[in-house]
Structure 1
Amino acid sequence: MLYASSTDTDTEVLLEEDIDVDSGTPADLIVYNDDHNTFNWVMKSFEEILGHTNAQSEQLALLIHLKGKATVKSAPKSELRPKKEALVDRGLSAVIEDR
């Protein structure tokens, strides 16, 4: 689906993925285990980006290490997207999955 609007000077085209139709859809932010991030870095990232306490961050880091992945936050997609991008920018492997 494309949406185009024209003005006298320019044309804007929005692709379907740019139109945020399910921004309020409940979703989970999942982080996967990897071999290059330290526990301290993961915990610090969870505290700074997700607002988790040190104890929450430690428990999640341990779950990720032992189980291979963990849901670190549940919220509407629109709230999770910037948090996922911030975690990915720090080198973590994170995805958003619909509930």
Structure 2
Amino acid sequence: MVKEIEKPVGKVSTNQEELKKLILFNDDVNTFEFVIDSLIEVCEHNPMQAENCAMITHFKGRCPVMSGSFKDLEPYHKALSKRQLTVEIS
């Protein structure tokens, strides 16, 4: 017997419009090691994830390092900015 799955009728709110990204930008000042350590300490990335984000930032000029609501990302933005990393929430 095959069960039918009921699909919701109408628009389902997923809060996609509220989802923001914390973007890290490349600079010529900070070392890879400093950026990696900052992502591990501030954003709680694991070492591999932090290294990947640092490499993407270096080669592409920018990398989204976190996503969430503006309110959730703001403390991370402030902490990374205090470390002289160039970040924005968009």
TM-score range (shorter-chain normalised) is: 0.7 to 0.9
* Alignment TM-score, normalising by the size of structure 2: 0.80
For structure 1, the residue ranges without an aligned partner over 5 or more in a row are 1-23
C-alpha displacement of 1:25: 2.2
- Match for 1:53: what amino acid? N
C-alpha displacement of 1:53: 0.2
For structure 2, the residue ranges without an aligned partner over 5 or more in a row are 1-16
1:28 and 2:21 equivalent? yes
* Alignment TM-score, normalising by the size of structure 1: 0.73
The CA deviation string for residues 32-88 of structure 1, in whole angstroms up to 9 with x for no partner, is 000000000000110011010000000000000000000000111111001001000
Q: Secondary structure at the match of 1:92?
A: coil
Higher fraction of strand? 1
State how far apart, in whole Å, the 2-side matches of 1:35 and 1:26 are: 29
Q: Equivalent residue for 2:87?
A: 94
**Among 37, 41, 55, the residue aligned to 2:34:** 41
Report sequence identity in percent: 36
Q: Equivalent residue for 2:61?
A: 68
Q: How do 1:46-65 and structure 2 match up within 5 A?
A: 46-65=39-58
State how far apart, in whole Å, the 1-side matches of 2:33 and 2:84 are: 13
- Match for 1:75: what amino acid? G
Higher fraction of helix? 2
Cα-Cα RMSD: 1.1
Q: How many residues align?
A: 74
